Amino acid sequence: MTEKINVDKVYEEVAVKKAFLLDVRSEEEFAQFSLPNSLNLNIEKIEFGKVPSIPRDAKIYVYCMSGSRSKKAVALLKLMGFTKVKDAGGIISLVK
């Protein structure tokens, strides 16, 4: 089960550059709607070994449409050496 994320805390940390918001949906989905200050890296690219341009020790909140891709992305990013990755679930849980 996904740990409950405090949406206000996420936006505050991202705003002051203490954390990153990573959208793992497709480029098309990201272009249609995305959260402010979020970066996009499609889960399929992560599966093929593409690493986000984020320091491996930075706090990263990962989201997608429903939560299934973000969960998979968190597991893969941890295997790639990212140490502070959190599953933020589906985009709707982060909309303010």
CATH of the domain at 23: 3.40.250.10
* 1 falls within a domain: no
* 2 falls within a domain: no
Residues facing 38 on adjacent strands: 21
pTM: 0.94
**50-75 average pLDDT score:** 96
**57-86 average pLDDT score:** 97
Q: CA-to-CA distance for 19 and 47, rounded, in angstroms?
A: 22
pLDDT higher than threshold 50 for residue 92: yes
The pLDDT tens digits for 3-57 are: 678 999 999 999 999 999 999 999 999 999 999 999 999 999 999 999 999 999 9
* 70 falls within a domain: yes
* 83 falls within a domain: yes
* 21 falls within a domain: yes
pLDDT higher than threshold 90 for residue 73: yes
Instruction: Give residue 12's domain range.
Output: 7-93
> Are 68 and 43 within 8 A, CB to CB?
no
Specify the number of domains making up the chain: 1
Residues 64, 7, 33: CA angle, nearest 5 degrees = 40
* 19 falls within a domain: yes
> What would the two tokens of residue 11 be?
């936006």
